[in-house]
Amino acid sequence: MSFLEIIAFIVPNALFYAAPLIFTGLGTVFTERSGVTNIGAEGLMQIGAFTAIVFNLAMADVLSSMTLWVAILVAMVVSMIFSLLLAVASVTFRADQIVTGVAINFLALGLTLFLVKKLFDGHGQTPMIQERILRFDIPYLSEIPIIGPIFFENVYLTSYLAILAAIIGWIVLYKTPFGLRLRSVGEHPMAADTMGIKVNRMRYIGVMISGALAGIGGAIYAQSISLDYSHATISGQGFMAIAAMIFGKWNPLGMMGAAIFFGFAQSLSTVGSSLPIIEDIPSVYLFILPYVLTILAIAGFIGKSEAPKALNIPYVKGNR
Amino acid sequence: MKKRTWFLMTLLLSLGLVLAACGGGDDEGSKSGDNGDGDSEDKFSVAMVTDVGGVDDKSFNQSAWEGIQEFGKDNGLEKGDGGYDYLQSKSDADYTTNINKLIRRGFDLIFGIGYLFEKPMGEIADQRPDSQFAIVDGVVDKPNVASILFKDHEGAFLAGVVAGLFTETNKIGFVGGMEIPVIERFESGFRAGVQSVNPDAEVQINYTGAFDKAELGKAAANQMYSSGVDIIFHAAGATGNGVFNEAKEIKQKDPDANVWVIGVDRDQYDEGAVTVDGKEYNVTLTSSLKLVSVGVKDVSERTMNGNFPGGETIEYGLKEGGVGIADSRGVLSEDILAAVDEWTDKIVNGEVVVPQTYDELEAFSAE
């Protein structure tokens, strides 16, 4: 493989792998910015992946090529409704947010596998879907020399939607009144309350945004990579998304950078055997690279990452 | 207020646990009822524990389960206690628990499916000297464990013969799961097969390091196909689904693309099906078959007849009908099929010894 070919392989591949992480990570940025810890991202992704696969299998004949996108929307809605559990328990009833999140993860895995067994007569995994997210060349742009093959040839639409979503997320969070309110609720809820912002309502919205985006993330993963749903479909991606969020210092763009970085490490381990220098490194080091980088990142090697101040603290009106 | 919170939390957590439990072993609850206490005690009963792949992994777990089902049907057994059954493992931590569960439910012979059972089965075999075990794809040197191995390398060799003769670009790919002895056998046999019929062909090797990460298989296949490989043989379990996914995607973009996958362990023809503009295509060239069902059935029968091969290691190869390759549905020419038959004969009558390690492969290519 020539150098250009290698780059043209790594970049789309890294973006492809990063897309579900970006969506889910963006969701967690929103919840945590509103002051609710979201350990349940993994579970919400599972709900999204499961819903998308089941919907896709059931409706592929009727909707044909539209199935994918409708499935993503349905997954988004179902996942958002499911995330209300987290909101009700941790915002209204002020339960411990970490424990609630863990409960969400257990519940999601158990519930989806139980339903798979019920729906597909006792099987532990669903059949494979036929309508799936496909690669395409972007017309005109892919003909640009050098940049074309790297960024616009053999790409997935979802990669670009994810990047777009992260940018929109950043604008919403930092450039709109809504974003300011959401952040203020996460930093100093009492001050926000005195200014007439409904703290709990904002937190509900934060959690539901997270549910919706994690649902999209799970749906994209299932429909582009695994093509079926089983216990192993979502195994750790939700936590990788949370890691990306911390790595990116609770900023949508930083989170996106971190997610793409994880994707990059992942593709490097695949293509590494055909690169000079890297081919001499034992493959096991390349396999663990994304995880080691995550640990280093979280251990504070990238500078202090500061969480929203009121994170993990339920808001009680009038308490000081 | 506080109390209510805890109540809600407890409710959530316990609901999760209950559902998780239902998902895992719903057969236990539904089946134990229809088995009276005494009526099936004299019948021979057999059960298996899957590895994390699950009982419909479209691979060796499924094949083993098919063998047990067949055995059950032949001998008039029913699914459940006192007949035949399986337990699915969700993680590596479940192996010991699941084996113990089956012992307590009184099964006469318990299979552990997969190399990963070596350690847990070795430990339990010591603790339960009166129980009879069998392990597929691994060796446990205990008097009450029968070890079943397959000469995967012989099936892989035939796959290599097919790939070597069928390739147009003279570039062939191999995607492996983990670098463990079982997969080394596949790789060595496959490469030997390619070399025997087409010494000019280059075989690219990629180990993904996992059996359950489809995205890694997909990336590996993407890299190989874009560097000119036209046939990929995968020995990577669910990671191999990614290889199929990639090949199908290429086919969908360009139906004339010359991309093929050789499946593993069972006939993976269904995995290769792809529809482009209403026309059906298939990317599966053939599959190297490992008939785990043959071995499982054979050991079950021997044990039922009182000849439990405890402490022995039994190998099933081309000769015993334990491995082979699948029907290609007319893709392969008569010439290639004739060549496959010729090499099969050579292996069966001992003229060719297929290498199963890297060292043997080197010696083989030196000849």
Q: Which residue has the higher pLDDT, B144 or B253?
A: B144
- pLDDT, position A298: 67
B234-292 pLDDT tens trace:
998 878 888 998 999 888 888 888 999 999 888 888 888 888 877 888 999 999 988 88
* Sequence ranges of the domains in chain A: 3-133+143-301
Highest mean pLDDT among A126-135, B14-23, B94-103: B94-103
Task: Return mean pLDDT, chain B.
Answer: 85
Residues pairing with B105 in the sheet: none
| Region of poorest pLDDT, from A137-141, A224-228, A248-252 | A137-141
Name the token pair of A159: 């990669």
Residues pairing with B231 in the sheet: B172, B260
pLDDT above 90 (res A44): yes
User: CB-CB: which of A9, A99, A111 is closest to B223?
Assistant: A9
A83-123 pLDDT tens trace:
999 999 989 998 889 999 999 999 999 999 889 988 887 77
Highest mean pLDDT among A258-272, B45-59, B180-194: B180-194
Q: Is A249 left (phi over 0), alpha (psi -120 to 50) or beta?
A: left
Amino acid letter, B169 = T
User: CB-CB: which of B1, B16, B220 is closest to A110?
Assistant: B16
pLDDT above 70 (res B38): no
Q: What is the ipTM of this complex?
A: 0.75
Q: d(Cα A43, Cα B123) in Å, to the nearest integer?
A: 34
User: CB-CB: which of A1, A103, A266 is closest to B16?
Assistant: A103
Q: How many contacts, defined by CB atoms under 8 Å, are there between A and B?
A: 133
The class (CATH top level) of A3-133+143-301 is mainly alpha
Interface of A with B in 86-105 (CB under 8 A): 89, 93-96, 99-100, 103-104
Under a CB-based contact definition with an 8 Å cutoff, are residues B156 and B132 in contact? no
- pLDDT, position A297: 67
| Region of poorest pLDDT, from A290-304, B17-31, B160-174 | B17-31
User: Residues 6 or more apart from B359 whose CB is under 8 A from it?
Assistant: none
- pLDDT, position B3: 63
**Buried b or exposed e, range B222-248, using 16+ CB within 10 angstroms:** bbbbebebbbbbbbbbbbbbbbbbbbb
Name the token pair of B162: 């097919």
- pLDDT, position B27: 43
Please indicate whether, in this complex, the C-beta atoms of A95 and B8 are within 8 angstroms of each other. Answer: yes
- pLDDT, position B17: 63
Name the token pair of A266: 């992942």
Partner B contacted by A9 (CB < 8 A): yes
0.80 surpassed by pTM: no
What mean pLDDT comes out for the span A21-50?
A: 93
Q: How confident is the model at residue A213 (pLDDT cuts 50, 70, 90)?
A: very high
A282 exposed, middle or buried (CB, 10 Å; 0-12, 13-18, 19+)? exposed
Query: What percent of the residues of chain B are helix, what percent strand, and what percent coil, each to the nearest 5?
Result: 45, 20, 35
What mean pLDDT comes out for the span B158-169?
A: 93
Of the candidates A288, A275, A258, A262, the residue with the CA atom closest to the CA atom of residue A7 = A275
What mean pLDDT comes out for the span B15-30?
A: 52
Which fold, B41-150+293-316? Rossmann fold (3.40.50)
Name the packing angle between helices A177-187 and A157-175 (round to 10°): 70
Partner B contacted by A13 (CB < 8 A): yes
Q: d(Cα B356, Cα B150) in Å, to the nearest integer?
A: 11
Residues pairing with B150 in the sheet: B316
- pLDDT, position B364: 85
- pLDDT, position A76: 96
Q: d(Cα A314, Cα A189) in Å, to the nearest integer?
A: 9
- pLDDT, position B19: 62
DSSP assignment of A122-155: T-SSPPPPSS---EEPPTTGGGSTTHIIIIISSE
Substitution target in A226, A228, A275 with the highest count of B β-carbons within 10 Å is A226
Which fold, B152-289+333-366? Rossmann fold (3.40.50)
Which residue from A minimizes the CA distance to B87? A124
Partner A contacted by B12 (CB < 8 A): yes
Could you count the other beta carbons within 10 Å of the beta carbon of residue A198? Answer: 13
Please indicate whether, in this complex, the C-beta atoms of B215 and A266 are within 8 angstroms of each other. Answer: yes
pLDDT above 80 (res B331): yes
Name the token pair of B304: 């039922």
- pLDDT, position B209: 83
Please indicate whether, in this complex, the C-beta atoms of B9 and A228 are within 8 angstroms of each other. Answer: no
Partner A contacted by B93 (CB < 8 A): no
> What percent of chain B shows pLDDT beyond 90?
37
Substitution target in A93, A109, A111, A270 with the highest count of B β-carbons within 10 Å is A270
What mean pLDDT comes out for the span A236-253?
A: 88
Angle made by CA atoms B84, B88, B92, in degrees to the nearest 5: 135
Please indicate whether, in this complex, the C-beta atoms of B241 and A226 are within 8 angstroms of each other. Answer: yes
pLDDT above 90 (res A285): no
Q: d(Cα B363, Cα B195) in Å, to the nearest integer?
A: 13
> What percent of chain B shows pLDDT beyond 70?
88
pLDDT above 50 (res A171): yes
- Chain B closest-CA separation from residue A86 CA (Å): 10
pLDDT above 70 (res B36): no
Partner B contacted by A123 (CB < 8 A): yes
In three-state secondary structure terms, A222 is helix
Q: Which residue has the higher pLDDT, B22 or B265?
A: B265
Q: How confident is the model at residue A1 (pLDDT cuts 50, 70, 90)?
A: low
Give ranges for CATH 3.40.50.2300 in chain B. Answer: 41-150+293-316, 152-289+333-366
Under a CB-based contact definition with an 8 Å cutoff, are residues B277 and B251 in contact? no
